[in-house]
Structure 1
Amino acid sequence: MSEIRLKKAPAYRAFRSSDIVAAHALSIAAGWPHRAEDWQLMFDTGNGFVAQDDSGEVIGTALYWKCGAGRGTLGLVIVSSEEQGRGIGRKLMELVLEALGNRVTFLYATPAGKPLYEKLGFEACSTVDQHQGTVGSVQAVLLPAGDQLRPLTGDDIPHVIELASRASGLDRGETFPALLDFAEGVLLERSGELVGFSLFRRFGRGYAIGPVVAAHSPDDRRAKALIAHWLAQYAGEFMRIDLPGGAGLNDWLNGLGMTRVDTVVRMVRNEPAERHGGEPDPIYRVFGIINQAMG
């Protein structure tokens, strides 16, 4: 009669840089597009935890990002398909939430993960639309008179961080310096005043546009110009952008060949969801997020 080997309870510890290879393998198995370099970026800007089986193999991950003293985000919650149903995802979430403390915390929920997040006190507050595709030639977007685009330089970084924090409601002081090591950027100015920016970097099977922030303008021409700049410069490449629901650019992006392929629920904890259904700032708006982990 064969013996039945009972699995030991997983061990949990802090995520280390040496875990990136194993974490990348988990995301590939889950069908996610992340490269090892994408994991590196997110580890460089945040922290997290892993679950290990009794052989030391990483079987689960969860990362988080502190956005100043009062807010944070979390993501990259993955559990090996062979190990699901053992409470590993919940334990990883509990460790992350303990590390974030009383911060107002945001995440983007997959349908599979949403029931767990609700049990942990998260409420749906908004959505994000994922667009992707390979775009050919892109028609130039006519900017408002007096506006002009120029490349981002090192001297611009403090101003970009300030604008990104204002538009998103999340302190970007800790995450943006590392992000800018991986990304190119373009600024939109009006009479020397910064009125928008967009970043662009390698991601997954191609490139990602985001974040994108712009001041309000007729027909959102500023936001469109900041996005079209990259679509035109990298015509023929596969690209992705994730934009907040209600940003108003879905039809425009679909028409360019950047098809909306998914809509994901954004959830919040430690503050009522109704406080986060609108825009954090009356002038500047986010038209593209960093990604569905860092927000």
Structure 2
Amino acid sequence: MQLTKMLDPYELRAVPMTAADIPQLHELSVSVVWPHRPEDWDLVIRHGHGLVARDEIERLVGSTMWFPLGESHAAVGMVITSPRLQDHGTGRWLMGLVMDQIGDRGMVLNATRPAYRLYISLGFMPLAPVFQHNGEVTASPDTAQLPALGPGKVRPLLPEDRAAILGLDRAAFALDRTAVMDEVIGLSHGTVLERGGQVRGFALCRRFGRGHVIGPVVAETEAEVLHLIAPIVAEHRGQFLRMDTRAPDGPLRRFLVAHGLVHHDTVTRMALGRALPAPEGDARTFGLLNQAFG
């Protein structure tokens, strides 16, 4: 795959992404109405590999990234092209370059609606929808109205929970993203579900975009998820909050809507190549870390 592309009347070139690109990457994401702050770009750059497309006068007009998930798989994300170039094949060219870098790893991504047809044409297969809920929290949850939790208790996240959370995320997500998770834990506050002296679920919350994002969230049932996120939602009453989930319409998504986090958008989880491994144990990922990492 060539590292230059002719676009009438000028040429684009792809170069490695660095932290020095963050100001222009932020401008690029703003141009397509993505909420990422410069700090959000900094996080993904430090944990991934990226390319940027520049034109002949050094304007940054495109981006693409991939993130190792152990040795067998990679997540693809942050694929953006300037609106004025979206009908010129720039996205396909950038995807070809990043797929060459990824090699024979299995690939997974979350496709926006405008990019869905591109990924289908590249051979990606749809797996499941991802529902983005966000908005200003309008009410504090009434915990008395939550479904029964069962054995165990929900308590605030503590520094000594780090190892248990990393292990639980690894089992539920079924792929290794320890490095980024280790940093995200340090950036987050949250809750854990403790049962029999062991952490059996967790919900993290950190600054992102217009406010805060809840995620990842790992638990065995939606009832557990509601008990894990209710204190976080209450803490952010009157503030902008987001959660991305693959859960279908049910108690979790209805809870989010009832507290001001409306359904804002839907993307599609897609995969190519090696099959994704199944989760280990009963815990599942109910809330994404972000759409780039899954």
**Same fold, TM exceeding 0.5?**
yes
Runs of 4+ more than 6 Å apart: none
- Residue 103 in structure 1 maps to residue 108 in structure 2: no
2:91 is aligned with 1:89: yes
Q: 1:108-119 residue pairs with structure 2 within 5 A?
A: 108-119=110-121
Are residue 265 (structure 1) and residue 256 (structure 2) matched?
no
Rounded to whole Å, the distance in 2 between the matches of 1:28 and 1:193 is 42
Q: Which runs of 5+ in 1 are unaligned?
A: none
Cα distance change of structure 1 residues 6 and 120 upon mapping to structure 2, 3 Å threshold: closer
Query: C-alpha separation between the residues in 1 aligned to 2:39 and 2:151?
Result: 38
Task: Give the SS at the match of 2:91.
Answer: helix
Deviations 1:213-245 (A, max 9, x none): 0123xxx32110111121011111110100014
Deviations 1:183-211 (A, max 9, x none): 22321101211110111011111110000
Deviation track 1:70-113 (CA, whole Å, cap 9, x = no partner) reads 11111111111122333221121122212222222111111211
Residue 33 (structure 1) aligned with residue 35 (structure 2): yes
| 1:130-186 CA-partner distances (Å, limit 9, x unpaired) | 111222221124663542223333332222111112111221212212222322232
Whole-Å separation in 2 of the counterparts to 1:175 and 1:11: 29
Q: What is the number of equivalent residue pairs in this alignment?
A: 284
Percent identity, aligned pairs only, is 36
The TM-score with structure 2 as length reference comes to 0.90
Superposed, which structure 2 residues align to 1:197-216 within 5 Å? 197-216=202-221
Query: 157, 161, 165: which is aligned to 2:166?
Result: 161
- Root-mean-square deviation (Å): 2.0
Provide the C-alpha distance between the structure 2 equivalents of 1:12 and 1:87, rounded to a whole number of angstroms: 14
Superposed, 1:1-295 pairs within 5 Å as 6-135=8-137, 136-140=139-143, 141=146, 144-216=149-221, 220-246=222-248, 248=250, 249-271=252-274, 280-295=279-294
Instruction: Give the Å deviation of 1:33.
Output: 1.2
Match of 1:32, SS state, is: coil
Give yes or no for contact 1:143–1:225 (8 Å, CA) kept in 2: no
Distance 1:161 1:71, change over 3 A: same
CA distance change for structure 1 residues 252 and 148 in 2, over 3 Å: closer, same or farther? same
Deviates more, 1:25-34 or 1:92-101: 92-101
Secondary structure at the counterpart of residue 175 of structure 1: helix
After superposing the two structures, state which structure 1 stretch, 130-139 or 63-72, moved more.
Answer: 130-139
Q: Is the 8 A contact 2:68 2:177 kept in 1?
A: no
Distance 1:181 1:94 in 2: 34
Residue 179 of structure 2 aligns to a residue whose secondary structure is coil
TM-score, normalising length: structure 1: 0.90
Q: Where in structure 2 are there 5+ consecutive unaligned residues?
A: 1-6
Contact kept, 8 Å, 1:196 with 1:212, in 2: the verdict is yes
Q: 1:45 to 1:154 in 2, by over 3 A?
A: farther
